[in-house]
C-alpha cells in the first residue's frame, strides 16, 4: 500500500509538523492525535506574581515570539486556559487564590513553576511565603533561575510540550500522585535553548 507524504508516527512528531506523522488521518490512533494536538495548543493563564512575570511577558513579546508555539494568547479567564505558569513567589494570602484559579482551569491542565521563589521559596525563607508552590498545586515542570530568562522559560515550555506528546506527564503524575516533577536545566548564557533535558524526581 502506497503511503502518503504527510504520514508519521504521531508519538515522534518533531518540528516537521504534519510531515513527521507516520500515519495518515485515517490510520492514526486517536490517542496519539489528541496528544499531538494538546501539545500544540497550550493556552497559559495570566498569572504573574513577582519579577519572574516580567521575564514571562518578555517571552510573549515579539523578540522571543511564543506565537510560534500557538501560545501567544495569555487567557484572562481560567476556564479558557490549560497551563498555569507560576511566575514569582507565592505568599500565604495568595495561595488559596492560586488554588482556586487552578481548580477552575479546564482538564487536562499543566503547571510550570518558574523561578526559584515559586519552586522552593528562594531567598524568602519566612512565614509569609509558601516554600514551594507544589504544596498548593501539582507542578509538572520546574524552571530554574532568579529570575529565569525567556530562554529558560521557553526550554521549560518545550519540555512540557514534548512530555505531553509522549504521554510522559500522565505516567509520571500517576507515579508521583500529583505533578510530574520534571526539572529542566538552565541553558548557558549564550542564549541557546538546544540543551539536553534533565529529567528527575524532586
Residues 78-102: tens digit of each pLDDT: 888 888 999 888 888 999 999 999 9
Interatomic CA distance for residues 19 and 99, integer angstroms: 40
At residue 193, does pLDDT exceed 60?
no
Q: What is the pLDDT at residue 16? A: 58
Domain boundaries, the chain: 1-39, 41-183
End-to-end Cα, the chain, rounded Å: 48
Answer with the residue of higher pLDDT: 122 or 98: 98
Q: Taking residues 154-170, report their average pLDDT.
A: 82
Interatomic CA distance for residues 156 and 186, integer angstroms: 9
Interatomic CA distance for residues 178 and 2, integer angstroms: 44
Place of cell 482556586: 100
Cross-strand partners of 34: none
Q: Taking residues 174-179, report their average pLDDT.
A: 65
User: What does the mean pLDDT of the chain come to?
Assistant: 76
Region label for 190, one of left (φ > 0), alpha (ψ between -120 and 50) or beta (otherwise): alpha
What phi and psi, each to the nearest 5 degrees, are found at residue 175?
Answer: -70, -35
Let me know: does 94 contact 49? Beta carbons within 8 Å: yes
Spatial CB neighbours of 7, under 8 Å, sequence gap ≥ 6: 21, 22, 23, 24
Angle between helices 150-166 and 30-39 (to 10 degrees): 170
Q: Taking residues 111-120, report their average pLDDT.
A: 88
State which fold the 41-183 domain adopts: Rossmann fold (3.40.50)
Q: Indicate the pTM of the whole model.
A: 0.69
Region label for 81, one of left (φ > 0), alpha (ψ between -120 and 50) or beta (otherwise): beta
Q: What is the pLDDT at residue 171? A: 66
Taking Cα atoms as reference points, which of 95, 198, 92 lies closest to residue 141? Answer: 198
Confidence of residue 174 (pLDDT cuts 50, 70, 90): low
Q: What is the pLDDT at residue 62? A: 82
Q: Taking residues 139-155, report their average pLDDT.
A: 88
Q: What is the pLDDT at residue 26? A: 64
Amino acid at each position: 500500500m502506497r503511503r502518503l507524504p504527510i504520514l508519521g508516527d504521531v508519538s515522534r512528531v518533531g518540528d516537521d509538523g504534519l510531515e513527521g506523522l507516520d500515519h495518515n488521518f485515517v490510520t492514526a490512533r486517536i490517542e496519539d492525535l489528541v496528544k499531538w494536538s494538546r501539545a500544540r495548543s497550550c493556552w497559559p493563564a495570566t498569572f504573574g506574581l513577582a519579577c519572574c512575570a516580567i521575564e514571562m511577558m518578555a517571552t510573549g513579546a515579539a523578540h522571543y515570539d511564543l506565537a510560534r508555539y500557538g501560545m501567544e494568547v495569555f487567557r484572562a479567564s481560567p476556564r479558557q486556559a490549560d497551563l498555569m505558569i507560576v511566575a514569582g513567589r507565592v505568599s500565604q494570602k495568595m495561595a488559596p487564590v492560586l488554588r482556586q484559579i487552578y481548580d477552575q482551569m479546564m482538564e487536562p491542565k499543566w503547571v510550570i513553576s518558574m523561578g526559584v521563589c515559586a519552586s522552593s521559596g528562594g531567598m524568602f525563607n519566612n512565614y509569609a511565603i509558601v516554600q514551594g508552590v507544589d504544596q498548593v498545586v501539582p507542578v509538572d515542570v520546574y524552571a530554574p533561575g532568579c529570575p529565569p530568562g525567556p530562554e529558560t522559560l521557553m526550554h521549560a515550555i518545550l519540555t512540557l510540550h514534548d512530555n505531553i506528546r509522549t504521554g510522559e506527564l500522565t505516567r509520571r503524575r500517576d507515579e508521583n500522585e500529583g505533578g510530574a516533577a520534571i526539572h529542566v536545566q538552565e541553558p548557558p548564557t549564550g542564549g541557546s535553548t538546544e540543551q539536553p533535558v534533565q529529567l528527575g524526581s524532586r
